[in-house]
Structure 1
Amino acid sequence: MNISPILTDIKKRKFQPVYLLHGEESYFIDVISDALEHTVLNDAQKGFDQTVLYGKDTDFSTIVNAAKRYPMMSDHQLIIIKEAQDLKWKDDELLLKYVEQCTVSTVLVFDYKYGKFDKRKKLYKAIEKKGLVVESNKLYDDKVAAWVISYIKEQGWNIHPQAAALLSEYLGTELSKIVNELNKLMLNVPKEREIVVSDIEQNIGISKDFNVFELNTALAKRNAFKAYQIIDYFAANPKSNPLVLVLGNIAGYFTKVLKYHYIIDKSTAAKELGVHPFFMKEYELAARNYNRRKTFTIIEALKDADLKSKGMNVGGNTSTKDILTELIFTILN
């Protein structure tokens, strides 16, 4: 999602009287809320005209009474309700009446995290009409690398697509965690130089030679020696390479390979697969090495490996090394 226009308006001091920031991805909620907290009032004014409340410790009567006050030292007063999901929203009639005739000098912000606000409620529609509603959705796995590239560019750096993909493979979709790691990278890599895979290894602790990204590449190339080297490393370092993460990444990779087989216009494949064009040669190679029938077999083998990792459908040893060795053998043969 693109929150830049919202942040631009805040920077220009074009404030809304009510903000409802809700959704499963807390990162965008925090960015907008923090921007308001750092812009609406200066440090001297905050002692008089800023109020921070927490959902579990307050109620709508307290919030509305505060919102109806006029600022003392500024043109605005700012009220932020953190963890607003903990409010008793069944009793929101008082807030609804306030929103319908809200105080223009008040900026009222609800940080409603880890879930979506009920869009059927009258209050939701009232805030949409009088203020601003922002739904902060989690990124899909295949969108994270592109978001990393975009975020880095906004800060004035550049990152190689392979490095962005490696980060997204290992850090998942939690954007706050990803941003923390990216900020570390930018402290250690000069602006004039592109961030590459070796920077990830040195600053974040991900091995550039023994990771799921390299395992998928080895499988695409049918490089058995490299593939078995990597799974030996995984077995020796299980905390850094959890089996569930490894299996999930391989499954995601071969799902894309299967999808590639069914794309009629291959010129649109990068967009269809949700990957950077840089990686298309590898997917083309993987598709040549694994036809449709074989790819279906691999996906079935991955399902079986997943069951074994959970102690189900067990027929023999279920150590990380044994499960991965059997899986890689099935893929390559």
Structure 2
Amino acid sequence: MSELKKMITSFKKDGYKPVYFLMGEEPYFIDFLSDHFTNNVISEEEKSFNQVVLYGKDVSVNDIMSQARQYPFMGDKMLVVIKEAQELVKTIDQFSSYFKSVQPSTILVFCYKYKTLDKRKELYKTLSKSEFAEIFESNKLKDYQVEGWIKTLISDEKLEIEPKAVAMLVEFLGNDLSKISNEIDKLKIILKNDTLITADLVEENIGISKEYNNFELINAVAYKNEAKAFGIAKYFALNTKNNPFVVTTSLLYNFFSKLLQYHGMIYKNAGANPADIAKQLGINQYGLKDYQVASKIYPMKKVSQSIAVIREIDLKGKGVNGSLTHDDLLKELLIKVLR
């Protein structure tokens, strides 16, 4: 998000370059920038004749260059946006020839999703060296970065969010930034004059159970709350579609793996700063207390055994060494981990 802000600040300070190549695995940031161009470069009065949106599957590279070399009609700038530009992957290198005669009054934006240009080829080298072009590489966020991104997004909207609500969004929506952004937009409408997004609000309007989710299951395991853990397991067994077993095992494995790391950090440096530990574990400080409590309940040996159990049950869930129901698998896992 910080790179996006820097880029948009540069637009306001230095103006726009003739060519922008937006590429990478994360479509959200590419869409964000594309929307900025279409909403801000050309005035509403001029959009019908000075703003053009093309699609990679419908045009050739020569068509794009021909369009880009036209002059704006009764205005200073023309904006040409190429959506789904990755459809031109086989011929995109031909665009290098455009830099022999760049049209300075055109702003040409390529939205090249899910892929990146080959950095060994001429086009990438031309784009990266040209004063007329800028490349933006949109990388997927790491899982541990998503919570921070949500908080930044909320803060930019002049809103606040409860830590539990953040955890629920991440647990339910994963790292699908577009989906998270859309859900937050819905919550903004519901909030009206309020500014705090609560766990209750998320539960009521996004369909995430505040009490029965993987976030709460891991919390129950961390604090060795058997009644709560088995209650959640029973709910999951009745709602398998929304609570896939593989997701639960993956998150439990991730928790115990980080708990093992936590033990190692504390063993090596008992006086380590909590903020540094949280950063190394890839979690926020709010979640660190679960590891502090769990480390006293689960010694390092028990943690290693639990990781082995999760691997074993995960294989059973995939049909190796027998076939058990979702309910039986999760019960067996919890019994072996909690007792």
Distance 1:44 1:9 in 2: 25
- 1:187-241, Cα deviation, whole Å (9 max, x unpaired): 2225654222111111111111111111111111111111000000000111221
Alignment of structure 1 residues 86-165 onto 2, 5 Å: 86-90=87-91, 92-93=93-94, 95-130=95-130, 131-165=133-167
**Is the Cα contact below 8 Å between 2:158 and 2:195 reproduced in 1?**
no
**CA distance in 1: counterparts of 2:260 and 2:80, whole angstroms:** 51
TM-score by length of 2: 0.93
Matched, 1:216 2:253: no
The structure 2 residue matched to 1:181, chosen from 175, 180, 183, is: 183
* Equivalent-residue separation in structure 2 for 1:190 and 1:163 (angstroms): 18
Letter in 2 for 1:320: H
User: What is the rounded CA distance, in whole Å, between the counterparts of 1:40 and 1:97 in structure 2?
Assistant: 25
Identity across the alignment (%):
41
CA distance in 2, matches of 1:284, 1:148: 25
| Secondary structure of 1:79's aligned partner | strand
Aligned length: 330
Q: Look up the match of 1:77.
A: 78
| Whole-angstrom distance in 1 between the partners of 2:252 and 2:151 | 22
Query: What residue is the counterpart of 1:304 in the other structure?
Result: 312
CA distance 1:149–1:88, change in 2 (3 Å):
closer
1:149, 1:286 → 2: CA distance?
26
Q: Which residue of structure 2 aligns with residue 248 of structure 1?
A: 250
Q: Is the 8 A contact 2:51 2:80 kept in 1?
A: yes
Partner of 1:277: 285
C-alpha distance 257-208 of structure 1, shift in aligned 2 (>3 A): same
> Match for residue 58 of structure 1?
59
| Cα displacement (A) at 1:132 | 1.1
CA distance in 1, matches of 2:96, 2:143: 37
Q: Secondary structure at the match of 2:46?
A: helix
Larger mean CA deviation between 60-69 and 304-313 belongs to 304-313
**Could you tell me whether the CA contact under 8 Å between 2:173 and 2:179 is conserved in 1?**
yes
Structure 1: gaps (5+ residues): none
Q: Report the residue type matching 1:102 in the other structure.
A: V
Q: Secondary structure at the match of 2:197?
A: coil
**Residue 196 of structure 1: aligned partner:** 198
Task: Report the equivalent of 1:331.
Answer: 337
Q: TM-score, normalised by structure 1?
A: 0.94
> Aligned Cα RMSD in Å?
1.6
Structure-2 separation of matches of 1:7 and 1:232: 49
For the 8 Å contact 2:80–2:106, the answer to whether it is kept is yes
1:292 aligned partner: 300
Provide the rounded CA distance (Å) in 1 between the counterparts of 2:259 and 2:188. 33
> 186-195 or 27-36, which moves further after superposition?
186-195
Structure 1 residues 164 and 63: CA distance shift in structure 2, 3 A: same
Question: AA paired with 2:324?
Answer: T
* Corresponding letter in the other structure for 2:96: L
* Greater alpha carbon shift after TM alignment, 227-236 vs 197-206: 197-206
State the 1:116 CA deviation: 2.1
